[in-house]
Amino acid sequence: MNQPRTALSRKSSGLYAITPDEADSDRLLERVEVVLTAGATWLQYRNKSADASLRARQARLLQAACARHDVPLIVNDDWRLAAAVGADGVHLGEDDGEIVTARAALGPDAIIGASCYDSLELARNAVAAGADYVAFGALFPSPTKPNARVAKPGLLSAAAPLGVPLVAIGGITPDNGASLVDAGADLLAVISGVFDAPDPGAATRAYLSCFTPSH
């Protein structure tokens, strides 16, 4: 893989844990601490049901937790919130604004990712605009987004020449995750498989095992 242009000096392969919608900030933080301690590589703060005040409070709590564990915090959708809380970056969907705008606000060292769904063309355009990583999915049926566009694992290998970390998302389990790593995924992005698990720490370790050659 080519050396990424910006702030991916820290590890950029493994589990990309994405938070669920959670109104109870204490419960959210408790579960996130478990996942970070178990070895999650990156954390994305995503809460589609919270108002702006709660999202700001939760993002600040998570930024502090991630800093303690030296894990990057990426904010979903909202580069303004990422800037306000000092997050490490932002993840943008196709309707969440321009990569160049987020880069100007967050600086050259921010990690900026883009959802590319089932499209290699979107990924090429995102990297050309300055994205540090691209995400494809849903790779499998997803309980979080049951109507999501479907991406095929071959898209990961096709995107390898882009030279940035590739994120797979959507319905990923410890049983099917290794096949995506074999296809070229650098990070497995998971919400419910981690945070809805009876033991989020054990679930984190199970996903990380997808990256071991003996899996």
Active-site positions read: 46, 115, 145
Kindly write down the DSSP assignment for every residue of 122-184, as one continuous string: HHHHHHHHT-SEEEE--SS--SS-TTPPP--THHHHHHGGG-S-EEEESS--TTTHHHHHHHT
Residue 154, number of CB atoms within 10 A of its CB? 11
Q: What's the rounded Cα separation, in Å, for the pair 39 and 134?
A: 22
Instruction: Give the contacts of 86 (CB within 8 A, at least 6 positions apart).
Output: 63
Q: What's the rounded Cα separation, in Å, for the pair 45 and 63?
A: 9
Q: How far is CA 172 from the centre of its chain?
A: 13
Crossing angle of the two packed helices 200-208 and 25-37, in degrees rounded to 10: 40
Please say whether the beta carbons of 166 and 133 come within 8 A: yes
Exposure of 161 by Cβ count < 10 A (0-12 exposed, 13-18 middle, 19+ buried)? exposed
